[in-house]
Amino acid sequence: MLRLVRLSIRRRRVLLVGTLAVVGLVIAGTFGLGSRFGLALPNPGDLRPRADGEPSATAQYLKGQEVYDAHMVWDSYSERVLREAQQRGLSLDDTQRQLDRARQVGTKIEQIDYIGGYPIPNGSMHFYVVFRSDPSRREAVPVPYVFTLDGSGKIDAVE
């Protein structure tokens, strides 16, 4: 009888520890705590697979636009672009306010198609067609994007 009681207590401890670990991971993922400590926790918003040759900076920029996350957008920029933006008085908070306004009016990215890239001196150019919708239109409108990346793979210009 004593063995059964001990076994039951051990199972409950294991179950409790396992449950706490799962709850901790869910909370860390929900609040993005893992990225603050250098952990790459999966994000449900990252479901769009990257096309062959698609740079991570452009994919991150467009994902940031899609989920209204200014941190993702700013993290995709080159140091030169960030420095120039700050010299003009622009900040991460300004970008977040713009994205929040777009969300409030109902502007959405419906589809992102990577067309391809082309090497240039000191970097590369990458081409997309992004389908955007808003409440005033019946269907999404294709918008061309051209990204110029610097030698480190960060966005140097967006057209």
16 and 90 belong to one structural domain: no
Could you tell me the sign of the dihedral formed by the alpha carbons of 89, 92, 94, 99, in that order? positive
The 3-state DSSP class for residue 156 equals strand
15 and 83 belong to one structural domain: no
| Residue 44 domain-assigned (yes or no) | no
In the numeric block, the tokens 């449950």 are attached to: 19
31 and 97 belong to one structural domain: no
137 and 84 belong to one structural domain: yes
Domain boundaries, position 18: 2-36
Q: Digits of tens for pLDDT over the chain (159 positions)?
A: 666 556 567 666 644 444 444 445 545 555 555 544 444 444 444 445 566 789 999 999 999 999 999 999 999 999 999 999 999 999 999 999 999 999 999 999 999 999 999 999 999 999 999 999 988 888 999 999 999 999 999 999 999
Number of compact structural domains in the chain = 2
| Residue 43 domain-assigned (yes or no) | no
HSE-CB at 78 with a 13 A cutoff on CA atoms is 17
